[in-house]
Amino acid sequence: MIAQLSGKLIHKQPNTVIINVGGVGYEVTIPLSTFYELGETGSDTTLKIHTYVREDAIQLFGFWTGREKELFLRLTSVSGIGPKLAITMLSGMPAPELIRAISTSDLVRLTGIPGVGRKTAERVAVELRDKLAALLAEESELEAATAGRPAAAGAAVRDDTVAALIALGYPRPLAERAVTSALQEEGEPTIEAVIKRSLKRISR
């Protein structure tokens, strides 16, 4: 079973990549969170892999971090949640926010993810709420440790930049993830500068 792939990134798009390992190209389905961490095409990359075996196919699902992979496996353990919907949920919001939404039974946030209805959200919350308690505690500790660090830009700049990208036609999840990554990069924290960096990430 394939648990990790390391090789050349020869193709990427928001939900799929192809990694060349020893002359073999592996197609891997990924969430948006992983897409934004990838380098340029042609660069070396390593992904945590979950191999999903069906009677008629073998699919590879890739993740930038072990935390994402763990959350994916937790989600697919819930009745009615397949790999495709789990990837959609991971793409709908950052892993820490998804963990918090499930742990606090925040059905409004969960049903805001495309394809997640109220019954599905309730089932996920009921089955995973207690199981994700430890992960939520870890996320809270991490937030507390970094609370004193200055933000790259104010919330107003982030919100205005996201709104600008949405106005350009980009989906909100894609816009939010691009802006979050752009704000973490070095550079001016102005709306114009953040928009440029965000568009650069989206077009990679």
pLDDT tens digits along 120-164: 999 999 999 888 876 666 555 555 544 444 444 456 778 888 888
SS3 135: helix
Helix (H) or strand (E) holding 48: strand 44-53
What whole-number distance in Å separates Cα of residue 47 and Cα of residue 38?
Answer: 10
- Please say whether the beta carbons of 110 and 125 come within 8 A: yes
Q: Could you tell me which of 91, 81, 116, 76 has the C-alpha nearest to residue 29?
A: 91
Instruction: Taking residues 180-195, report their average pLDDT.
Output: 80
pLDDT of residue 148: 47
CATH 1.10.150.20 is held by the domain 67-146: yes
What whole-number distance in Å separates Cα of residue 102 and Cα of residue 90?
Answer: 12
Query: pTM above 0.95?
Result: no
Tens digits of residue pLDDT in 19-77: 999 999 999 999 988 888 888 899 999 999 999 988 888 899 999 888 889 899 999 99
Q: Could you tell me which of 192, 189, 201, 199 has the C-alpha nearest to residue 168?
A: 199
As a whole number of Å, the end-to-end CA separation of the chain is 30
4-63: CATH number: 2.40.50.140
User: Any idea where the domains of the chain sit in the sequence?
Assistant: 4-63, 67-146, 155-198
- Please say whether the beta carbons of 34 and 49 come within 8 A: no
Which residues, 6 or more positions from 183, have their beta carbon under 8 angstroms from its beta carbon? 151, 152, 153, 157, 158, 189, 194
pLDDT of residue 192: 78
